[in-house]
């Protein structure tokens, strides 16, 4: 069966979209009007390196069996789709036209598969005994999740690392680390049927007879996607320093024992929520993958570029840890550094606005 999938976000979302297109499903990417026009005219290109190959393959949407188009938020009718992928960074959902679209998606009761680093509050409501109310302070726009049915929202651990090359058009994505999206099941049986079929269809894809990396792997445990938190706080958020940014590899390897301590601490927070050891990724496996991560994280690049809002998984984990009775000077320092950098950016932005 061919499914119609709507994906909010044409950058990281184009990775998931390309895998769905390769499997024969139809994809609509939601983005700004200039990017939508470019994609509708030229399609997308995602560069992935296959196992045992030295060069990245250029996978163009025009060559794939599924149909791709791009839409602005105002053009989207959620009822025309079978599932929605959430691939924008969390602060972007506060933009007015995106907020209105998200409201229509919630009202349409469409299953939503998030590949955001920041888990939707609707997903967190599925975690037993987690007090969600105080966590709103870590979200830019917590209210947008109020109308979602929690059983229709699930989360992937967005482990694949990808970025838009700075010297390329916005319809190009380069995959640096082609790992899998590890998804928890929905709480809804019909939504799980779709998710399982997408998993199988992507698994069956071959390119010149070869397996293509980046799969969807579906798990019964709600806690599997939380494995990403240890990676984010050990690497991605520690790329932000008080006076600049650094590559993920440097954040992890400047002091591997400090990194291991941070990683284990966040793992412990997830376990106190209910995660089992088999839901998590060993530090050694993450550290090995981090050797390939030679660029600053997207969070760090956004801070360096002057962003005044970013996804605050660091603050989310801090708040959850405190609620569970786990305090960490290392996490507190990380949050403090990022708070200070964002405050500097906000002051600079306000000064520029005042100067006209």
Residue 332 has pLDDT above 90, yes or no: yes
pLDDT, the chain, mean: 95
Q: Do domains 4-219 and 224-354 have the same CATH topology?
A: no
**DSSP annotation string for 160-212:** -EEE--TTS-TTEEEEEE---EEEEPPSSHHHHHHHHHHHHHHHT-EETTEE-
The answer to whether 235 and 297 have CB atoms below 8 angstroms apart is yes
- The pLDDT assigned to 350 comes to 82
Residue boundaries of the structural domains of the chain: 4-219, 224-354
What would the two tokens of residue 21 be? 């297109």
Q: Containing H/E element for 354?
A: helix 329-354
Q: Is the pLDDT of residue 355 over 90?
A: no
Q: What is the pTM of this model?
A: 0.95
> 4-219: what fold?
Rossmann fold (3.40.50)
Whether residue 108 is predicted with pLDDT greater than 90 in this model: the reply is: yes
- pLDDT range class, residue 270, cuts 50, 70, 90: very high
CATH of domain 224-354: 1.10.1040
Ranges 34-38, 41-45, 50-54, 235-239: which has the least confidence: 50-54
């Amino acid at each position: 069966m061919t499914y119609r999938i709507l994906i909010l976000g044409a950058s990281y979302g184009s990775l998931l979209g390309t895998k769905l297109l390769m499997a024969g499903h139809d994809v609509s990417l939601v983005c700004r009007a200039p990017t939508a026009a470019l994609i509708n005219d030229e399609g997308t290109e995602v560069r992935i390196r296959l196992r045992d190959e030295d060069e990245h393959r250029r996978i163009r949407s025009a060559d794939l069996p599924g149909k791709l188009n791009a839409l602005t938020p105002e053009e989207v009718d959620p009822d025309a789709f079978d599932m929605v992928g959430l691939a924008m960074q969390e602060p972007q959902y506060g933009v007015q036209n995106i907020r209105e679209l998200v409201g229509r998606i919630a009202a349409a009761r469409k299953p939503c598969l998030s590949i955001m680093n920041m888990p939707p509050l609707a997903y967190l409501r599925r975690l037993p005994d987690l007090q969600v109310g105080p966590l709103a302070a870590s979200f830019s726009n917590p209210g947008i999740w109020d109308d979602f049915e929690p059983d229709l929202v699930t989360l992937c651990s967005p482990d694949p690392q990808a970025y838009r090359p700075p010297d390329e058009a916005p319809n190009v994505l380069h995959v640096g680390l082609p790992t899998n999206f590890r998804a928890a099941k929905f709480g809804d049986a019909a939504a799980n049927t779709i998710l399982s079929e997408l998993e199988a269809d992507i698994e069956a894809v071959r390119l010149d007879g070869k397996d293509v990396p980046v799969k969807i792997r579906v798990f019964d445990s709600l806690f599997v996607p939380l494995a990403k938190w240890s990676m984010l706080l050990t690497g991605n958020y520690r790329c932000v320093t008080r006076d600049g940014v650094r590559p993920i590899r440097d954040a992890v390897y400047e002091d591997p024992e400090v990194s291991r301590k941070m990683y284990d601490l966040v793992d412990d927070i997830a376990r106190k929520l209910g995660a089992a050891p088999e839901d998590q990724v060993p530090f050694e496996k993450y550290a090995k993958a981090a050797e390939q991560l030679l660029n600053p994280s997207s969070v760090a690049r956004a801070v360096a570029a002057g962003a005044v809002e970013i996804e605050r998984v660091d603050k989310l984990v801090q708040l959850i840890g405190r609620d569970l009775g786990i305090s960490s000077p290392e996490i507190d320092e990380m949050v403090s550094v990022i708070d200070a950098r964002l405050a500097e950016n906000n002051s600079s932005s306000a000064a520029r606005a005042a100067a006209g």
